[in-house]
Chain A
Amino acid sequence: MNVLIFTMLVWLGSLAAGFLGSLTGLGGGVVIIPLLTLVFGVDIRYAIGASLVSVIATSSGAAAAYVKEGFSNIRIGMFLEIATVVGALAGAFLALRLSTPVIAVIFGLVLIHAAYVSSRPRLETSGVEKPDKLATVLKMHGTYPTSRGLKAYNVSSVPFGFALMFIAGILSGLLGIGSGAVKVLAMDQAMRLPFKVSTATSNFMIGVTAAASAGIYLHKGYIDPGLTMPVMLGVLLGASLGARHLFEAETQKLRVVFSVVIFLLALQMIYSGFMGWRIQ
């Protein structure tokens, strides 16, 4: 395949991945890496580099819109970023030391988790619960726009959310993904945020998390311009289209379909990881 055709095909695939990733809140990275490695035969290290950079574009592009509309909670995002950036450095450190088949298998397992999380209905934990003292000290409680005006919410379990965010950071740095699934889990289930707030705040944090490990990947020669260009441009366009439809789309059905696709990709990644192990 020549560069021109390869670039066009990768751009189209990335466009679709960015669109779905933004609608479901899972980010484009979870599909980009299997797409590049399994379909286009790209070495997983190049795929991780391209995905990581694209994740910054997706998240910053979508976050710009969410932040202006008042869905993102900047204080929660900033505080939890301490956990994700330190985790991201640890993840990048690990990525330089693990063999690629091991990374492929870990990636597959993380994908299965993401598929599982996104297939379940997200139950809105409405009703203001007993606020967490730490969250009050950290001024995390906020409001968000609904059809009936601004609605207030409280935040709970900050330490548990923080610990989950550290894990999300490690996975992001190791695998070149935004780890939206773990971030959303931390903020929906542990901290009990309304899910539009948690999706928006997760998007807001992903860029900073990915930037922390992107510096290391750039120095180590994982970020190839020829490959990253169509991936980044495709994902960015797809994600901005997805963000535009977030409030009108009935996302539940889409999430189920998407999670089935992710699950199948995960099995394939694990299988190819084990095959790679045998060859080495």
Chain B
Amino acid sequence: MNGKGPMPADHEMDRTIGNILRAGVMTAAGIVLAGGLIYLFRHGLTPVHYALFQRVPMDLCTVGGILGSAFSFHGRGLIQLGLLVLIATPVARVLFSMVAFARQRDVMYTLVTATVLIVLAHSLLSQ
């Protein structure tokens, strides 16, 4: 590692990151679409109510609640599950990069990605 220009290992990392992002987004979109079709089929003719802000029901705001709702094949629960997968996608990308930098023995960038990961974990897991 002479630190001059991108290393071949970086291009390898680029490709894998591209694949992680694409797979995460496609999976999320598939789940959201399935949930959306169920939701539209069951509730398509009810009026919309978004002018007034009421918090989304608690069971659609926590990981445990969303999993429970999704596995009962509730449309809204499945959509939230897809959105959770979507939110997890960039986190997975950071996690992968951290491991890849550690393998390259790039201490500085391992620490950089670890810092980002800690902040993300704090946001997703707090409360």
Evaluate contact between A211 and B21: CB separation under 8 angstroms.
no
Partner-contacting stretch, out of A1-9, A20-28, A108-116: A1-9
Contacts A60-B89, A143-B5, A215-B87 given; does A225 touch B119 at CB 8 Å = no
> CA separation between A105 and B52, bound complex, in Å?
19
* B22: chain A residues within 8 A (beta carbon): 61, 64
B57 CB → nearest A CB, Å? 8
Residue of B nearest to A62 (CB): B21
Residue in A141, A208, A210, A215 whose CB lies within 8 Å of B94: A208
Evaluate contact between A221 and B55: CB separation under 8 angstroms.
yes
Chain A 214-255 interface residues, beta-carbon cutoff 8 Å to B: 214-216, 218-230, 232-233, 236
Evaluate contact between B109 and A78: CB separation under 8 angstroms.
yes
Chain A interface residue number, banded: 35 or more
A-B contact count (CB 8 A): 207
* B89: chain A residues within 8 A (beta carbon): 56, 60, 207, 211
Evaluate contact between B61 and A219: CB separation under 8 angstroms.
yes
Residue in A2, A43, A65, A223 whose CB lies within 8 Å of B45: A2
Residue in A6, A60, A142, A227 whose CB lies within 8 Å of B6: A142
Contacts A43-B53, A68-B14, A208-B120 given; does A225 touch B39 at CB 8 Å = yes
* A67: chain B residues within 8 A (beta carbon): 14-15, 17-18, 21
> CA separation between A223 and B77, bound complex, in Å?
12
B55 CB → nearest A CB, Å? 3
> CA separation between A82 and B118, bound complex, in Å?
10
> CA separation between A70 and B5, bound complex, in Å?
13
Evaluate contact between B61 and A221: CB separation under 8 angstroms.
yes
A53 within 8 A of B: yes
Evaluate contact between A212 and B14: CB separation under 8 angstroms.
no
> CA separation between A220 and B62, bound complex, in Å?
9
B8 CB → nearest A CB, Å? 12
A142-155 CB contact bits vs B (8 Å, 1 = yes)? 11000000001000
Of the listed residues B22, B25, B109, B122, the one surrounded by the most CB atoms of chain A closer than 10 A to its CB is B25
Contacts A85-B119, A232-B32 given; does A138 touch B108 at CB 8 Å = yes
Evaluate contact between B109 and A225: CB separation under 8 angstroms.
no
> CA separation between A214 and B28, bound complex, in Å?
15
Contacts A4-B40, A233-B33, A233-B36 given; does A213 touch B123 at CB 8 Å = yes
- Add 7 more A-B contacts to A61-B21, A236-B29 (CB < 8 A): A2-B45, A2-B46, A68-B15, A212-B123, A215-B125, A229-B32, A229-B39
B-side residues, CB < 8 A to A, are 3, 5-6, 10-11, 13-15, 17-19, 21-22, 24-25, 28-29, 32-33, 35-36, 39-40, 43-48, 50-53, 55-58, 60-62, 75-77, 79-80, 83-84, 86-91, 93-94, 97, 108-109, 112-113, 115-116, 119-120, 122-127
List 13 A-B residue pairs with CB atoms under 8 Å apart, sorted by A's residue number: A43-B50, A78-B97, A79-B109, A81-B116, A82-B119, A85-B119, A143-B5, A208-B93, A211-B124, A212-B119, A215-B126, A219-B127, A222-B55
Question: 7 closest Cβ contacts across the A-B interface?
Answer: A221-B55, A225-B79, A215-B124, A4-B44, A207-B90, A64-B21, A43-B53
